[in-house]
């Protein structure tokens, strides 16, 4: 068993490099493999296999603590820095309506699923299961960064978190397949519903113009500024969040049940808020130099360190959790289809509005690119908006699930 964190970090970095390197291979066998197995899944589960089979001591490693306290806030800053609020508003009310319908369905669907499954099997939702489910809400509203944030805010144990990651990825993967099918049959579905798709053509043209105007090869100065912004705001979040949590604990200790006395809660909230505020300044232009890509690189190191703490054997001891995930995603589907039909929205808006929530930046651009390659950044744009809302929405969902189980 490997216990040296320097060696473990090297192993994780090499693993991530191998995954991303082979995912771009033109070898027919590898292309078929990655057609069905998402990169994100491997980044979670290969480190989990290291821990499950005793190659490394995941529970004794300090890598996750370091990544969650330093890399996660920087990730949130750099991902929300890319948010173009005016650009999102120009997508039109239908696109935003479906995106927010997706966010609402996740927040409301969590406690609803807990109540339904709890009525049939009370043991499935007993104890602190609601804490673990809050991490699924974080992933399904924002993404892995928000999921990790909820894990820390609600103090989810490593074995429970491993089961929740399985629910997140497997249930979310089935839904992604549904979204890809809708994307592939969008013209027929839009014709049947009578949806007006002219806005999508104009949207595609705007996206192409934005790409030509902003994308550039990053310089060393660009990368250093991006790094400075990410970790600078991380430091500021720590400087303000820790004393703020202490002050709340001293003046209103009853707020502890809402996680408002947790320093980490305020660190991630402040980091998200700082990134959003920066998106209204000239700093947002750094997205053209790859600010969100730097954030994603930090995120995948965090994801690997999370996987390192998982014991996959815990998944098989909690089949009832998948029932909760199934009810939850079914409610999401019902809300999305109802809203889309009511406002006669094109399937493009339904697909990216849903996947920007459930799949985040990892899969929303994939679904968008099925409609047209130039539309992939639109998926990213809405997914980044999900990053902004993920911390707040998942916390609300967690509190609603806590009340649903009577705690």
Mind listing the pLDDT tens digit for each residue in 199-218?
777 766 766 676 677 778 89
Total domains, the chain: 1
Q: How far apart are the first and last CA of the chain?
A: 40
Instruction: Specify the residue for token string 């997140």.
Output: 168
Select the more confidently predicted residue: 91 or 168: 168
Supply the DSSP symbol for 259: T
Predicted pLDDT of residue 104: 94
Our measurement of the distance from residue 233's CA atom to the centroid of its chain's CA atoms, rounded to an integer in Å, reads 20
Summarize pLDDT for 285-331 with one digit per residue, the tens: 888 888 888 988 888 888 888 788 777 676 566 778 888 999 999 99
Region 92-106 average pLDDT: 88
Written as six digits, the tokens of 155 are: 């103090």
Say if residues 358 and 102 touch (Cβ distance below 8 Å). yes
Whether 257 has a pLDDT exceeding 70, the answer reads no
* pLDDT > 70: percent of the chain: 90
Written as six digits, the tokens of 226 are: 């991006």
**DSSP string covering 287-342, please?**
GGGTHHHHHHHHHHHHHHHHHTT--GGGGGG-THHHHHHHHHHHHHHHHHHHHHHH
Among candidate residues 287, 242, 295, the one with its CA nearest the CA of residue 269: 242
Predicted pLDDT of residue 314: 60
Region 367-376 average pLDDT: 68
Q: Give residue 171's pLDDT band: very low, low, confident or very high (50, 70, 90).
A: confident
CA–CA gap between residue 92 and residue 339 (Å, rounded): 15
Q: Which helix (H) or strand (E) holds 75?
A: helix 72-80
- Name the residue range of residue 306's domain: 5-404
CA–CA gap between residue 82 and residue 286 (Å, rounded): 8
Predicted pLDDT of residue 273: 84
Q: Which helix (H) or strand (E) holds 127?
A: none
Q: Give residue 159's pLDDT band: very low, low, confident or very high (50, 70, 90).
A: confident
Rounded to 10 deg, the angle between the 129-141 and 144-153 helix axes is: 150
Whether 238 has a pLDDT exceeding 90, the answer reads yes
Say if residues 354 and 102 touch (Cβ distance below 8 Å). yes
Say if residues 171 and 325 touch (Cβ distance below 8 Å). yes
The per-residue pLDDT of the chain, averaged, comes to 84
Region 100-124 average pLDDT: 92
CA–CA distance from 281 to each of 159, 276, 285, 286 (Å)? 42, 10, 8, 10
pTM: 0.70
């Amino acid at each position: 068993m490997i216990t040296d964190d320097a060696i473990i970090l090297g192993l994780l970095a090499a693993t991530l490099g191998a995954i991303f390197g082979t995912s771009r291979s033109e070898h027919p066998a590898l292309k078929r493999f990655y057609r069905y197995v998402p990169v994100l899944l491997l980044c979670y589960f290969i480190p989990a296999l290291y821990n499950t089979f005793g190659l490394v001591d995941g529970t004794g490693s300090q890598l996750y603590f370091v990544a969650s306290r330093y890399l996660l806030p920087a990730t949130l800053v750099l991902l929300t820095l890319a948010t173009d609020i005016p650009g999102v508003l120009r997508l039109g009310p239908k696109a935003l309506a479906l995106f927010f319908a997706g966010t609402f369905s996740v927040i409301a669907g969590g406690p609803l699923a807990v109540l339904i499954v709890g009525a049939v099997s009370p043991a499935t939702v007993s104890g602190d299961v609601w804490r673990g489910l809050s991490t699924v809400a974080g992933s399904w509203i924002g993404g892995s960064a928000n999921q990790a944030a909820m894990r820390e805010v609600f103090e989810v144990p490593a074995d429970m978190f491993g089961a929740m990651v399985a629910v997140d990825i497997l249930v979310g993967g089935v839904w992604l397949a549904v979204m890809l099918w809708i994307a592939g049959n969008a013209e027929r579905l839009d014709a049947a519903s009578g949806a007006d798709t002219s806005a999508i053509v104009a949207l595609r043209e705007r996206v192409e113009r934005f790409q030509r105007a902003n994308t550039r090869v990053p310089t060393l100065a660009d990368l250093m500024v991006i790094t400075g912004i990410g970790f600078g705001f991380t430091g500021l979040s720590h400087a303000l969040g820790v004393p703020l949590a202490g002050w709340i604990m001293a003046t209103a200790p009853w707020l502890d049940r809402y996680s408002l006395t947790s320093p980490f809660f305020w660190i991630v909230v402040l980091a998200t808020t700082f990134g959003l505020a920066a998106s209204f300044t000239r700093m947002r232009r750094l997205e053209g130099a790859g600010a969100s890509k730097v954030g994603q690189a930090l995120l995948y190191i965090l994801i690997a360190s999370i996987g390192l703490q998982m014991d996959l054997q815990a998944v098989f001891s909690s089949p009832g959790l998948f029932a909760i995930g199934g009810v939850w995603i079914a409610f999401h589907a019902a809300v999305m289809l109802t809203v889309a039909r009511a406002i006669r929205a094109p399937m493009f808006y339904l697909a990216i509005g849903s996947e920007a929530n459930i799949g985040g930046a990892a899969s929303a651009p994939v679904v968008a690119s099925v409609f047209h390659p130039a539309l992939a950044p639109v998926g990213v744009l809405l997914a980044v908006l999900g990053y902004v809302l993920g911390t707040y929405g998942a916390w609300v969902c967690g509190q609603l699930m806590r009340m649903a189980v009577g705690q």
